Amino acid sequence: MSLDPAPRTPVTEPLARPSAVLTVSGPDRPGVTARLFTALAALGNGVPAVEVLDVEQVVVHGQLVLGVVVAAGPHSGEAPELVARLAELAARVAEDTGMQVAVEAAGPDGAAAGADRPHHVILLGRPVLPDAVAGAARAIAGTGANIDAIRRLSDYPVTSFELTVSGAEATELRTVLAAVAAETGTDIAVERVGLARRSKRLIVLDVDSTLVRGEVIDELAARAGRAAEVARITAAAMNGELDFAESLRARVGALAGLPVEVLDEVREALVLTPGARTLIRTLQRLGFRCGIVSGGFTQITDPLAESLGLDFAAANTLEVADGRLTGGLVGEIVDRAGKARALARFAGQYGIPLEQTVAVGDGANDLDMLNAAGLGIAFNAKPVVREQAHTALNQPYLDAVLQVLGFTRDEVLDAL
């Protein structure tokens, strides 16, 4: 017996039909959209004359732009006849509303309307200058792609715009736009359009120079009188010039003899990166699991995670004996590979696929984690990290991550 006895109409390719684009523009006012579609509905005198294929509307500082793509019904004649009829309709709507209404022919069934929109391009800056928008637009056009839509995501703490782009491959887009970003100082991120962008459910943040300003180990070294030596090792490790585990042992060794109370002093002096609390609070209210994975020390990161209400934390543990640091470590070292393992462990703990995770970091030891995540963001990172991460942010505000994820300023405010 059939489980679905209802007959189904075979799916066939639609016949090519004359199509047209109507564009309405002018000062926004109530009733414009209703007037246009009422006129379209009455065009066939009781018999549907057109079918709506696509609609886009945007209001920018009180100025409306409304685009409608329609295809001719079965009894509407050829393209010139459709455009002529719509031109008469447009004139009436323009007179009634005080708007400008333009009509032009489109490809068969609206093919020229650019329905394929595979990528979002996000421009972020403080400010975003015209040369950045012009450079991005030229670069996109140079790939043969088209900008289908532009919307503003935020005006604070950074200005950001999202361009919807069709007809380009992701790697090529990222390559040409990276050059624009370097020339203009504007951050430009590229993400594929689709549900995956809004399906992210877990974020992992590096701590030193990402969640907080500065490097904790440098602060500890200063109190041990070994600041210059440790700073040189830290810089080399973060630039990928030294093995992280080896460099960590060397730096920790320089801390031998420090009283354990120094850890409390350094922790209390930590300064969060601007926007850190907003990022975490917003994502938590949107249902994200939020945590930290650090090459630093649990004596610092665990209290920090507790104070921020984070879901998880992983870091190295300094060895302590008789109230002083021994210069050694206890347990597994959270190095470059260890960070990626920690991300996978926490994602598995919450039943979240890796493609639905986000990782943010600045150093070479973050690269495995950034590349393992569904989206890896290099935040004010070293050049080697910016070049290999999925996208890069060079703004001083950590909550700019929200715009890369596609959240608007209004959505952020609603979640706070």
Written as one string, the DSSP assignment of 69-126 is: EEEE-TTS--HHHHHHHHHHHHHHHHHHHS-EEEEEEESGGGGGG-----EEEEEEES
Non-local CB neighbours of 238 within 8 Å, separated by 6+ positions: 209, 362, 363, 364, 365, 382
Nearest to 292 by CA among 269, 268, 318, 315: 315
User: Contact at 8 Å (CB) between 401 and 377?
Assistant: yes
Q: Which of 397, 274, 252 is nearest to 327 (CA)?
A: 252
Task: Respond yes or no: is residue 187 known to be catalytic.
Answer: no
Catalytic: which of 187, 206, 366, 399?
206
CB 236 within 8 A of CB 242: yes
Give me the catalytic one of 28, 109, 187, 208: 208
Q: Which residues are within 8 A (CB) of 207 and not within 5 positions of it... i.e. 6 or more apart?
A: 216, 292, 294, 296, 300, 301, 304, 315
Distance (Å) of CA 274 to CA 278, 279, 361, 364, 396: 9, 10, 15, 22, 7
Known catalytic residue: 54? no
Q: Give 275-342 as a DSSP string.
A: THHHHHHHHHHTT-EEEEEEEEEHHHHHHHHHHHT-SEEEEEEEEEETTEEEEEEES----HHHHHHH
Q: What does DSSP assign to residue 193?
A: -
The crossing angle, in degrees rounded to 10, of helices 244-253 and 227-238 is 170
- Annotated active-site positions, please? 206, 208
